[in-house]
Structure 1
Amino acid sequence: MKPKFHVTQNSSFIDTALEIRITNLPPCEVVTLKAEMCDNLGKNWGSFAEFISNDEGEINLATAKPRSGTYLIPDVTGLFWSMSPILNDKPKGKTPLKPLETKLFLMRGQEVLTFTSIIREVVSPKVDRFPVRQQGIVGTFFFHSKAGPLPTVIVLGGSEGGLRESNAGLLASHGFNTLALAYFGIGDLPKELVNIPLDYIEGAIDWLTGNPNVDSKKIGVFGTSKGAELALLSASIFPSIKAVVGYVPSGVVYPGLGQSALGLTSWQYKGQSLPFANGKIPREVTEKLEQSIRTGKPISWREIYQYWAKDEKQAEIAVEDIQGPILLISGGDDQLWPSDFLSEKVIFRLKEHNHPHNFMHINFPKAGHSLSIPGFPTTQTVISPFGNGKLLLGGTPQDNSQAQYTAWRRIVAFLNETLTSRLD
């Protein structure tokens, strides 16, 4: 009989649990499983693992340990997170939010024994999508037009700028409305992350409040990295925000980012620039940074940001003023900035002020900075965001992937508990 794939998914979404088995193989057969995928940015990825079938001629990816490959532990998601870009492969066009197709090939040597495809959606086809270009707002509104007013979450990306639609689309697929909100780096918005007006966030809240699909008493915010800094800051000022999620966040206002950022803050409100952390950096720390730059090694900014924020009070965000529960997710090996340390500063301040709402910090000790929605490759632990110089993000591909799945489940549960179940 011909070998056969058996793929079970709890749902069609990219964050769902998977089961992948192969049957009808000869016992103790050596085979290779290859995976290929084109992501929504048009980049091609690939991975592989070599297995030996068991005495029944089966391979279960949840329990089978690869003999070799791009990952080496039993893990049903291993072929997905261990993918690397396929070099010299021509990129395809961008297809934002299109379902991802991963092709699996079972091979004996160069012979393809059988193959299958796994389709995973980033956003449910039942979710409506509306580009927002009104009142100066640049965003994408994901909503459920036939469900009546629903809890709604503003989703903020990080220092990459533009829109983070995948986070917002997937979250909306779990029953919320979401607004993927850009705040720089697109359209007529500021070109760099410098002196971004919080009045813009206030305008987005007003737009949501006036939308008949939105339950204006149940608005939350979910930010990543600099977007998490913005989320905490916005929630501390605008009482309409009733729940906050921060991925690798900062509870301290930091300097702006960009060519024009020197000596300037990231945020302003009502025309007033906000104080930012700029503490003294020990000479040995700056020398280490300079050496990395000279030698072309990936740069860790962790210590720089930690010393900037050390003993900093004026630039701390008044998180005690947030009118709802708070969930912070950090990586203990975050090398871009110390999100674990910065999250604990938030927790300390909340305890110090006897914050009346629930708050929690979940730290993944071996994960880095690149926490996002689960199901994508996590092998890129070094990035070159501006074309020159490399930034170290931290963590290992396996630990980052495991953290993403666990964190995402906690976030969906948190927002369900705090917004969906929240009494008016």
Structure 2
Amino acid sequence: MKPTFQITQNNSLIDTKMEILITNLPPCGIVTLKAEMCDNLGMTWESFAEFMSDDEGEINLANAKPISGTYSTPDVMGLFWSMKPIPNDKPKAKTPLKPLKTKLTLMREQEALAATSIIRDVVSPVVDRFTIRECGLVGTFFCHTKNVPLPTIIVLGGSEGGLRENNAALLASYGFNTLALAYFGIEGLPKELVTIPLDYIEKAIEWLRNNPNVDFTKLGVLGTSKGGELALLSASLFPEIKAVVGYVPSGVVYPGIGQSALGKSSWQYRGESLPFAYGEIPKEVTLEINQARDVGEPISWRKTYQWWAEGEKQAEIAVENIKGPVLLISGGDDQLWPADLLSEKVIDRLKEHNHAYHYEHINFPKAGHSFSVPGYPTTQSVVSPFGNGKLSLGGTPKENSHAQFEAWENVKDFFITYLA
């Protein structure tokens, strides 16, 4: 009898829980399961795991421990998060928001015993997508045009710039409208993250106010990294925002990022630059960075950002002015900046001012800076954002993946509880 795959998914979305069972194998036989996927950016990824079937001739990925492979402990999603880019593979065409197809092939030595494919959607087919290039805004609006006006969430990316749609697309699949909003690094907007006008967020709020699909009494914001800093800032200034989520955010305003950033804030409002943290850095911290750069090792900016914020009270965001609940997500091994400590600054300030709404900081001690839509490979923990150096993000592939799934469930529950 031929080996058979039995795949169970709660739904077709990428964040769904999954069961993968292989049956009709010889008892206690050794086989290899390979996975291959082309992502939406045209990069092809692969992973594998070698297993021994049980006495019934079955392999259940939820409890089967790999003998060898790209991951080492039982994990039904192990083949997905442990994928690595295929070396020297020619990039394919970009396919933004297209369903992801992962091919699974069961091998015995060089013989293919069975194969199947798993399709995962990054956005629900019932969600409509509109490109926004008006009122000076650059974004994508995901909405449910056939429904009554719905709660709507502004989604902000980080220091990578440009327009990132994945968080907004998936969140919209759970019954919200979302506005993925670029704020620099794309045509029509500032080239660098330097003195970005918060008036721009104000324009986006007004645009949503005039949109018939939006329930304007239920407006939220979700930001990641520098976008988390921007989300907290925006909610502290604009009372229309009623719920805030910050992925690896900062409760402190920091200097701008870019060649023109020296001595300048990341943000301004009504023509005035916001105070920013730029405390003194101990010589040993600077020395560590220079030594890592000299030998080509990934650089950690965690200590630098921590020292910049030391004692810089004037740069703290007035989060007590937020007119709604706050959820912060961080990783304890974040090497890009200390989002865990920066989130605690927010919590301390909210406590100090007896904030009238729910607030919570969820920290994943072994995770790093990489928080986004779950279900993608998490093996890339070093980035080269400007092509002239490597930055460490922290965490391990397994811990980052597990944290992403759990954090995403918390984010969905938060917005359903406080905004829906």
* TM surpasses 0.5: yes
Which residue does 2:112 correspond to in 1?
112
1:359 partnered with 2:359: yes
> What letter is aligned with 1:212?
P
1:142-168 Cα deviation digits (max 9, x unpaired): 000111100000000000111121110
The alignment partner of 1:258 has SS state of coil
1:345-377 Cα deviation digits (max 9, x unpaired): 000000000000000000000000011110000
CA RMSD of aligned residues (A): 0.5
Give, in whole Å, the separation in 2 of the partners of 1:317 and 1:307. Answer: 17
Give, in whole Å, the separation in 2 of the partners of 1:384 and 1:282. Answer: 25
Give, in whole Å, the separation in 1 of the partners of 2:102 and 2:341. Answer: 37
1:200-239 to 2 correspondences below 5 Å:
200-239=200-239
The alignment partner of 2:354 has SS state of coil
The structural deviation recorded for 1:250 is: 0.1
Which residue does 2:154 correspond to in 1?
154
Matched pairs, number: 420
> What letter is aligned with 1:248?
V
The structural deviation recorded for 1:406 is: 0.2
The structural deviation recorded for 1:338 is: 0.1
1:15-68 Cα deviation digits (max 9, x unpaired): 000000000000011000000000000000000000000000000000000000
> What letter is aligned with 1:207?
W
Which residue does 1:388 correspond to in 2?
388
Which residue does 1:302 correspond to in 2?
302
Give, in whole Å, the separation in 1 of the partners of 2:80 and 2:202. Answer: 39
1:202-248 Cα deviation digits (max 9, x unpaired): 00000001000000000000000000000000000000000000000
Which residue does 1:186 correspond to in 2?
186
Give, in whole Å, the separation in 2 of the partners of 1:115 and 1:287. Answer: 52
Give, in whole Å, the separation in 2 of the partners of 1:157 and 1:352. Answer: 29
Give, in whole Å, the separation in 2 of the partners of 1:224 and 1:164. Answer: 11
The alignment partner of 2:330 has SS state of strand
> What letter is aligned with 1:334?
D
Please give the TM-score of this superposition, normalised by the length of structure 1. Answer: 0.99
1:328-343 to 2 correspondences below 5 Å:
328-343=328-343
Please give the TM-score of this superposition, normalised by the length of structure 2. Answer: 1.00
The structural deviation recorded for 1:263 is: 1.0
1:57-88 Cα deviation digits (max 9, x unpaired): 00000000000000000000000000000011
> What letter is aligned with 1:324?
G
> What letter is aligned with 2:129?
R
Give, in whole Å, the separation in 1 of the partners of 2:93 and 2:385. Answer: 20
> What letter is aligned with 1:11?
N
Which residue does 2:87 correspond to in 1?
87
> What letter is aligned with 2:148?
G
1:27 partnered with 2:33: no
The structural deviation recorded for 1:281 is: 0.6
Which residue does 1:128 correspond to in 2?
128
Which residue does 1:101 correspond to in 2?
101
Which residue does 1:142 correspond to in 2?
142
> What letter is aligned with 1:387?
G
Which residue does 2:54 correspond to in 1?
54
1:322 partnered with 2:316: no
1:198 partnered with 2:198: yes
1:246 partnered with 2:246: yes
Give, in whole Å, the separation in 1 of the partners of 2:369 and 2:253. Answer: 18
1:271-304 Cα deviation digits (max 9, x unpaired): 0010110001111111111111111110000000
Give, in whole Å, the separation in 1 of the partners of 2:238 and 2:75. Answer: 43
Give, in whole Å, the separation in 2 of the partners of 1:174 and 1:41. Answer: 24
1:72-122 Cα deviation digits (max 9, x unpaired): 000000000000000111110110000000000000011110100000000
1:78 partnered with 2:78: yes
Give, in whole Å, the separation in 2 of the partners of 1:64 and 1:295. Answer: 40
Stretches of structure 2 lacking an aligned partner (at least 5 in a row): none
The alignment partner of 1:140 has SS state of strand
Give, in whole Å, the separation in 2 of the partners of 1:297 and 1:19. Answer: 39
